[in-house]
Each structure stands twice: as C-alpha cells, then as structure tokens.
Amino acid sequence: MQRRTSIHGEWSSRLIFILAAAGSAVGLGNVWKFPYITGENGGGAFVIVYLACIAAIGIPIMMAEIMLGRRGRQSPINTMRVLAVEEGAHPGWRYLGWLGVVSGFFILSFYSVIAGWALAYVFYSGAGLFAGADAEAVGSLFEELVSSPERLLAWHTIFMVVTTAIVSRGVAGGLERAIRYLMPALLVLLLVLVGYAMTTGHFGEGLAFLFSVDFSALDQDGLLVAMGHAFFTLSLGMGAIMIYGSYLPAGASIGRATLAIAVMDTLVALLAGMAIFPVVFANGLEPGAGPGLIFETLPLAFGAMPLGGLFGTLFFILLSFAALTSAISLIEPAVTWLVENRGQSRVRAATWVGIAIWVLGLGTVFSFNLAAEVKLFDKTFFGILDYLTANIMLPLGGLLIALFAGWRMSRQSSDEELALGPMYNAWLWLIRVVAPIAVVFIFLDAVGLLDRISALF
C-alpha cells in the first residue's frame, strides 16, 4: 500500500511522539487516582496485578490504536471511514471514529473543570493558605471553591483558553513545542517531590506500602479496579492516541514506542505514589482516603510540614501540567476533523471546538453548586457525563478497536504496519482474545451487571 501522509504534519521524531502520547496518558488519573486506588486495595499486590493488566490489555490495544491512526493518517472519523473501505469492512465502522471524538469532547468538558481545581490550589498553596490549617479549614477551602460558580467558571475558562491556544498552533508549533517543555518539567517536578518525600522520615513506610505484596488484601473488586485503571490510564478509546498515531513517522517502531509510553505512564504513577504516601504517613493520615486524598488530605499534610508551602505549590503545578498534556490530546481529534471536513483554518477550528467544550463544561461547573440538586437517574450533569464516558463510551471504544484491528484488518495490513516479527502472533492472540474479554469484564463491572451475572451462578 502506498503510504499516506497527514495534512496536519508529523512529529519530528519517535521520542517526541513517545513524550506526546505519554503526556496524553499521564494525567490526573496517574497523580490523583492511582495513589488512592492503590491505597484502597492493599498496595503492592494491587500494583503487580495492575502491571500485568497493562501488559495484557493496555499495551496490545494501544498498539492497535496507534496502528490504525498511522495507517489512516487523518482524524479518527476519517481514518476509520477510509480503513473500513480499504479492509472491505462494513462502512458502519466509521462510527468508531465518531465515538472516540465525542468521548474526548465530553471528557474534556468536565476534565477542564477538575483541572481548574488544581490551578486554584497552586495559588492557594503559594499564598500559604494551608499553613497550620486543620482538617476543617482545608475542607472549608475546598467547599468554598466548588460551591462558587464564579470561581469554577474562571479557572475552567483559563484552562480551556490555554489548551485551545496550544492546539491552535498546530502539530509542530503547538503540540510538539508544548510537549518538549511540559513533559520534562513534569518529570523533574515529580522527582523533586519524591526527593522531598525522602526527608519526611516515612519514605521506607511509603515504599513498603507500594511494593510489599499481600494478595490476601486484594479481592475481586480490587482485580477489576486494576483491570479498569490499566485500560483507562493509557487514554485508550477516546481518539487521542489514534490522532497522535497519525502523526507518527512511517519508520518508527509502534511496538517499541508503545512499550516506552506504557513504561513512562506507569513510572509516573509509581513516582506519584512514592511522593504522596510518605507525606500521608508522616502526618498520620489515611492512605485509602479516596478522591479527597489530593484536594483535602494532602493540603493538610503540606500545611503541617517544613517548606510545605513550597512543595505543595510544586505538587499542584505538577498536577496542572499533567492535566494540560492530556487536555491537548482530547481536543485534537475534533479540531482535525473540522480542518479536514469543513476546510477551516487550524486557529478557527480550535477556537470553535474550544468554545463548544467550554459551554458544555458549564454543566459541570453548575453541578457542584447552582444545579447540585438537579439530577437525572440520581446523577448530576457531571455525574451523567462521567458515568457515560468512563463506563460505556471508553470501554466500547476500546473493545471496537480490538475487534477491528484483530478481526477485520487483514493480517498483511496489521503485520506490515506493526513490523513485530516473531512477536506478531502473540500480539494477535492478545488483541483477538485476551483484551476483548478483559474489556467486556470491565464494561460489565462498570455498569453494575457483573455482580448480577455472578449471582446467577
């Protein structure tokens, strides 16, 4: 097949692609979610199962999504339309592209609001608002933030303006330039915070919690959480990895790049745990504190420690950088579709998509205050979007990617693109059998059907 080229440009090197895709994968889930779900599920045993799931589920599906992106060289929607024709598949496969684009659009609308919390906390910590504060004061600060539509709107707006400005400058001038600085800065900040954690006197306790293996502390629910997080942490099924794959140079190895992305993503998650848990233990706090670990538990810890204001500020800058690298990948698929199908300039397309996401994000802003009591199926607007994307759209997208790459693409096409040599058959078995079964389990658990099915037996 004659190689296609992307009208949007290419990454200048495989390293930049790895940093960009890792930036998409490394987000609030690594720094915010991974530490607390590890804490809730027993530490080291959970980490081992999580790593096994990354290898068996995350890496094969990520390779497939990158492969589809590079094969099509267009927005996810147009890529799936072209590949369906090329592989003699039903034209309905193009809706897989739409699913990814819409998923990313929905996710960024509320992700931007949550990222705004991190931005606000940079200034809270820098202003010394956590110094000497007790649990009630820290809790009140968070409550004041989320209950104020004006404040949430301001931070949501700032985050979306920055995201849109970066994406509007294109692959080389915007995405690549931002990634060159943001990803190294993120890693440096994380290492600085790990160094700080070493001074707490509880670093060994944090390491023991993360890496000591006790499978008796890991139940069936913990296994499913590990499977689910291994899938979601790599940004699969939302169009981001597919569009980034479309910018990957033809000679770059998809297998080696995917492995590097997965290692970097996992390393960030583990380093986040190494930075967070010693601080938690040093202050006698609960490592399984749930989502409040970052915005309520850690500020309390930073406020009680020497130089806590400085390192608390650095931590929330890190969190903001992680959110931004993910955000630019979430908006990119919709922007490329407008450029390709509506003939719009990059700046105009990014502006329109950014405004649309900002408007949809107002629903999440008001879900925490003015419209907190407005519910459908006992969920706020934010709750509905979160449930719809995380529990239905993303697992469905990942499953369809695995089925198309494994069963609808010819062996010749996928082997030519992946160039795995003797490892090709192992990938094919994982993408055809193991990954789809695992994603079905994730989906059934997410929508609450797995327990009902288990009860029948």
Q: What is the pLDDT of residues 357-371, one digit of tens each?
A: 999 999 999 999 999
Average the pLDDT over 64-91 and give the result: 96
Average the pLDDT over 255-277 and give the result: 90
Residue 58 has pLDDT above 60, yes or no: yes
More confident residue, 231 or 88: 88
How much is the pLDDT for 433? 97
Average the pLDDT over 56-76 and give the result: 96
14 exposed, middle or buried (CB, 10 Å; 0-12, 13-18, 19+)? Answer: middle
Tell me what percent of the residues of the chain surpass a pLDDT of 90. Answer: 59
How much is the pLDDT for 457? 67
**DSSP-H helix ranges across 26-147:** 28, 34-40, 44-53, 59-72, 76-86, 94-126, 135-146
Give the range with max mean pLDDT: 63-72, 189-198, 303-312.
Answer: 63-72
351 exposed, middle or buried (CB, 10 Å; 0-12, 13-18, 19+)? Answer: middle
Q: Does 378 reside within a domain?
A: no
Which has the minimum average pLDDT: 133-137, 346-350, 357-361?
133-137
- Chain mean position to CA 387: 15
More confident residue, 232 or 247: 247
Write down the residue that tokens 């949501």 correspond to.
156
Q: What is the CATH number of the domain that holds 273?
A: 1.10.4160
Q: Does 415 reside within a domain?
A: yes
How much is the pLDDT for 226? 86
Q: Does 369 reside within a domain?
A: no
Percent helix, strand and coil across the chain, each to the nearest 5: 80, 0, 20
How much is the pLDDT for 452? 80
How much is the pLDDT for 154? 98
Q: Does 70 reside within a domain?
A: yes
How much is the pLDDT for 288? 62
pLDDT digits over 142-191, tens only? 999 999 999 999 999 999 999 999 999 988 888 999 988 988 988 888 89
Band (pLDDT 50/70/90 cuts) for residue 1 is: low
Average the pLDDT over 226-250 and give the result: 90
Tell me what percent of the residues of the chain surpass a pLDDT of 70. Answer: 97
Q: Does 266 reside within a domain?
A: yes
Q: Does 62 reside within a domain?
A: yes
Q: 3-class DSSP state for residue 114?
A: helix
Identity of the residue numbered 120: A
Residue 30 has pLDDT above 70, yes or no: yes
Residue 3 has pLDDT above 70, yes or no: no
Band (pLDDT 50/70/90 cuts) for residue 289 is: low
Nearest partner of 186 among 66, 326, 333, judged by Cα: 326
Query: Residue 439: left if φ>0, alpha if ψ -120 to 50, beta else—which one?
Result: alpha
Confirm whether pTM is higher than 0.95: no
Q: Does 6 reside within a domain?
A: no
Is-contact 357 108, C-beta < 8 A? yes
Identity of the residue numbered 66: I
Is-contact 62 238, C-beta < 8 A? no
DSSP 236-249: TTSSHHHHHHTTS-
Query: Which residues span the domain enclosing 203?
Result: 14-356+384-456
User: Beta partners for 376?
Assistant: 379
Residue 2 has pLDDT above 60, yes or no: no
User: Beta partners for 379?
Assistant: 376
User: In angstroms, rounded to a whole number, what is the distance separating the alpha carbons of residues 73 and 50?
Assistant: 32
Average the pLDDT over 260-282 and give the result: 88
Average the pLDDT over 59-66 and give the result: 96
In 10 A of CB 352, how many CB atoms? Answer: 16
Q: Does 436 reside within a domain?
A: yes
Written as six digits, the tokens of 139 are 């809790």
Is-contact 80 97, C-beta < 8 A? yes
How much is the pLDDT for 407? 97
User: In angstroms, rounded to a whole number, what is the distance separating the alpha carbons of residues 118 and 390?
Assistant: 21
How many structural domains does the chain have? 1
Q: What is the mean pLDDT of the chain?
A: 90
In 10 A of CB 12, how many CB atoms? Answer: 14
Written as six digits, the tokens of 374 are 């407005």
How much is the pLDDT for 291? 60
In 10 A of CB 377, how many CB atoms? Answer: 7
Residue 419 has pLDDT above 80, yes or no: yes
